[in-house]
Structure 1
């Protein structure tokens, strides 16, 4: 696959994952307007976005096949572990924007910016450590 095709697909999949993440947060907040709604919505969105991105990256970007279910589970755990640092970037921007501006649009905008920056870092980590 050419470099430009990888950049296009990875960007497309990041956008899909961002949409899944932020969309899940919005749905969560509508259906769970209770205590700790924002942190729980961010956590739920992160899990949904992570799962979607893993499947898309595994199949289309890295063309990776698991030997068996155990290998697939270990690979997903490694993928998620590599995402801890990038999730810190994402959450830092999302919660930072929330604390600075106190609006949902600023929080979601900060989340989108943090996710974009995190995905740039994550691609290189996944290429070197997860799907090598």
Structure 2
């Protein structure tokens, strides 16, 4: 069993890792495609990449959750994703607001990082209460 302090430290570490995947995917995306929807598409791609990375890390190391089978894992991931809708709105709100206000890639990424940090705090509590309630052990 992990202590509260260890859970918090791991959660922060995993949030940083997922944030790195998210911002990295966005940066790669806008380097590959520079068309009119490049920023929107990069944010969507980054969100998906970060979501998958964070789900894998949270499920295994934070909540030590075991699914019964692939179908159950898909259901848990779907619920995890639904819980992420509100937190994604926070993240996107910050990222797009920073893009609008400062019109620079660096500030857009800073807004994204701030939004992700706030969103991850909210998401932990939602996941603990609604997603990872009972393991299949």
TM tier, smaller: over 0.9
TM-score normalised over the length of structure 2: 0.95
Counterpart of 1:91 in structure 2 is 92
* TM-align CA RMSD: 0.4
Alpha-carbon distance in structure 2 between the residues aligned to 1:69 and 1:52? 17
Alpha-carbon distance in structure 2 between the residues aligned to 1:106 and 1:38? 13
Counterpart of 1:41 in structure 2 is 42
Unaligned runs of 5+ in 1: none
Unaligned runs of 5+ in 2: none
Q: Does 2:107 correspond to 1:106?
A: yes
1:1-132 equivalences under 5 Å are 1-132=2-133
Specify the SS of the correspondent of 2:35: coil
Alpha-carbon distance in structure 2 between the residues aligned to 1:3 and 1:69? 30
Alpha-carbon distance in structure 2 between the residues aligned to 1:46 and 1:33? 18
